Structure 1
Amino acid sequence: MSPQKDHLKDEGSRLQTTAAGATAGLIARFVIAPLDVVKIRLQLQTHSLSDPLSTRNIAGGPIYKGTLPTMRQILRNEGLTALWKGNVPAELLYVCYGAVQFTTYRSASLLLHALLGRGDPADGPGRPKHPLLRPAAESFIAGAAGGAAATAATYPLDLLRTRFAAQGNDRVYASLSRAVRQIYRDEGPRGFFRGLGPGLAQIIPYMGFFFAAYETLRPVLSDCWALPFSSGAAVAGTIASVAAKTGTFPLDLVRKRIQVQGPTRRRYVHKNIPEYAGGTVQVLRTILRNEGVRGLYRGLTVSLIKAAPSSAVTMWTYERALKMYGRLGLGRSREAKL
C-alpha cells in the first residue's frame, strides 16, 4: 500500500472526523474558558495602568493589567463563575466549530489530493521537484477553507460568547435564549454577524499557517524520543498556534471590538468602548490613532498563553478521538454502503 493511501486511511471516515473534531472542541473549550474571558476583557479595554492619570476614564470600568492580576480581579469582584461567563454559547461554538472545521479540512484535503496528487518525484514527469512544498501548500489551503467555513457557520455563537464574557455584575442578557431574542429584535439578523469581515480576514491566514505548520511538524515531533506520552501532536499544535496567532492578532482584536457594538455597547464591564464607524481597515486606523500600536495587541500575552493549551488539547484530543472512533467502527458501515 502506498504512503498516500496510508495517509488517507488514517484520516478516518467523515462521521469519525466530525465526531473527533466536536469532541476535541468540547474539551478544549472547558479547559481554556477562564483564559478566554480574561483575553476578551483585555481586548475590549481601551486604557491601561501605564496611561497618565489625566487620560484614564475611571468611570469607564475596571482597569486590568496582566493575566493573573486580571483573573484575580475578576474573581474578587464577580466570583468564580465569572471565569466561565459565556461558556454555554462557547461550548456550542467549539463543538460546532471543531466539527465543521475538521470535516471541511478533511474534504478539502481529499479533493486536493485527488486533483494535485502528493508531488512524489517517482510519479513521473510534470511533478514538482520539491515534494515537501506540495503537502504544505495543501495543508494551508485546506486549513484556510476549514477555518473560513467554520467561522461563517458558527459566527453568531462567537458573538454571543464575546458579549456574555464582556458582561460585569450588571447583566446585559439574562440568558442565552433572551440574548438571541433581544439581539434579533434590536439589531436584526445582521446583528449576529457584526465583525464577520475581520473574523474571516483573520481566520483564513491563521488556520492556513496553523495547519501547514502542524502537518509539517507533526511527523518530525511524533518520532522524537525526548517527548513523553506521545505528545508530538500536542507540541506541534502549540508551536503552530503561537506562530499563527501572533501574526493575525490585530484582526482578532478588531473583531471583538466590533462584536460589542450596537445598543448595548455602554452596558458591558468596560462602559467606554468606542463606537467605530467603517469597516475593518477604518477600525484598525482608529485604534492606531487613539491607542497606538500597543492598542492592537491588548491581550496578546494571555492569547498566546491560551493558544498553547487550547491547540495542544484540541489536536491531542482530536488524534486520539479519531483513533478511538476508528476502533469502534463509527461510520464505517454506512460509508461502505455508499
Structure 2
Amino acid sequence: MRFFIAPLDVVKIRLQLQTHSLSDPLSQRNLRGSPIYKGTLPTLKHILREEGLTGLWKGNVPAELMYVSYSAIQFTAYRSVTLGLQTAFGEHRMPAAAESFIAGASAGAIATTATYPLDLLRTRFAAQGTERIYSSLAASIRDIARHEGPRGFFQGLGAGIGQIIPYMGIFFATYETLRLPLGTLQMPFGSGDAAAGVIASIIAKTGVFPLDLIRKRLQVQGPTRSRYIHKNIPVYSGVFRTMQNILKNEGTRGLYRGLTVSLFKAAPASAVTMWTYERVLRILLEMESSGASARD
C-alpha cells in the first residue's frame, strides 16, 4: 500500500516546500531556479519530465521503514494506554471519546518520536531534485551525523509532536464515535470501519495540516537547505516563528499547500489500516477467549 501512494507523498512534500505566492507576478518571485508547481497532476507531470519515473519514489525506503515501525509502535501503544486507563479508572470509566483521545494522542506522540529520524530522511530525499545531495540512506545518516550532530535528526520534532497529539486524538475520538453507528449499516465486507477511518482522517488531517507543513519546512533546514529542488526556502527557526513567517509572506493559504493531495493519500491509507486493525484485533480477542475456555 505504501509503495503505491509514494508518488503522492513526494508531490505533497514538493508542494509544502514551495514558498513563493502563486498570485505574485513571475518577475517578482525570487525563485533562484526553483520549479513552479500548480496542483497535483501538473506536479506529477513535472517530476516525470524532469526527473524520470524514479523521481516519484524518492525517499520511499526510509518511508517504508517508518511506516512499518510507526504502525507497530502506534497500535501497541494505543492498546496499552487504553487498557491502562481502563484499569486505572476501574468501574468509573472515562467517556469513550475522552479515553480514545488520550490513548490516541499518547500513542501518536510515542510513535512519532521513535520514528522521527526516518521521517526527516524521507522528507530530505523527496525534496532532492536532479542534484543528488545524499547518495544512499547510509550516506545520509553519516552526513547528517557529521555536519549537524544528533539534533539534526530531530529538526522540527516540536511541530511533529504538536501535530500528532491533536491529530491522533481527533482521529481516534472521531473514529470510535462513528465506528459503531456506521457498523450498524451493514456495509459490504464490514467496511463501516473503513468508512469511519476515512471520515476521521479527513477531519483530523485538515485540522492539523499547518503543523505538518511547518514540520516539513523545518526538516530541510541545515547546511543543505539551498541545494534542494526549491532553492529559495527561507531560514526558519521554531514552530511559531515559522508560522509567522509563512503567514506574513504567503498568507493563510500558504499553511495549506498540498492539503488536497495529502487527503487523497491519507484517507484510503487510514481506511485500510483501521479495517485491518479491527479484523486483527477481533481475531486476537477470539484466540484469547478460546484459550481461556480451554483452560477452564
TM range (shorter): over 0.9
Asked whether 1:61 is paired with 2:34, we answer yes
Tell me what 2:228 maps to: 268
> The residue matched to 2:107 in structure 1 has which SS?
helix
Q: Larger deviation: 279-288 or 55-64?
A: 55-64
Aligned to 1:24: none
1:253 corresponds to 2:224: no
Q: Is residue 304 of structure 1 aligned with residue 263 of structure 2?
A: yes
Per-residue deviation, 1:180: 0.2
In structure 2, the partner of 1:243 is: 203
In the other structure, the counterpart of 2:191 is 231
The Cα of 1:162 is off from its aligned counterpart by 0.4
**CA–CA distance in structure 1, aligned partners of residues 188 and 45 of structure 2:** 33
| Identical counterparts, % of pairs | 69
Cα distance, 1:149 vs. partner?
0.2
Q: Does 1:87 align with 2:60?
A: yes
User: 1:165 and 1:246 mapped to 2: Cα distance?
Assistant: 22
Aligned partner (choices 162, 171, 180) of residue 201 of structure 1? 162
Indicate conservation of the 8 Å contact 1:234/1:316, yes or no.
Answer: yes
Whether 1:211 aligns to 2:172 is: yes
Larger mean CA deviation between 110-119 and 180-189 belongs to 110-119
Q: Deviations over 1:174-213 (max 9, x none)?
A: 0000000000000000000000001100100010010011
Distance 2:35 2:139 in 1: 26
Conservation of the 8 A alpha-carbon contact between 2:225 and 2:233: yes
* Aligned counterparts, 1:69-218, within 5 A: 69-117=42-90, 134-218=95-179
> What residue identity is the alignment partner of 1:195?
G
> Does 1:284 pair with 2:243?
yes
Deviation at 1:323, TM superposition (A): 4.7
SS of the residue corresponding to residue 59 of structure 1 reads coil
- Name which of structure 1's ranges 318-327 and 210-219 shifts more when overlaid on structure 2: 318-327
Greater RCO (Cα-Cα under 8 Å, separation 6 or more): 1
The answer to whether the Cα contact below 8 Å between 1:287 and 1:296 also exists between their aligned partners in 2 is yes
One-letter code aligned to 1:317? T
Are the counterparts in 1 of residues 31 and 232 from structure 2 also a CA contact under 8 Å? no
Give ranges in structure 2 of 5+ residues lacking alignment.
Answer: 292-296
Check conservation: 1:105, 1:143, Cα contact below 8 A. Answer: yes
Report the RMSD for the aligned CA atoms in angstroms.
Answer: 2.1
> Runs of at least 4 residues of structure 1 off by over 6 A?
none
- Structure 1 unaligned residues grouped into runs of 5+: 1-26, 121-132, 334-338
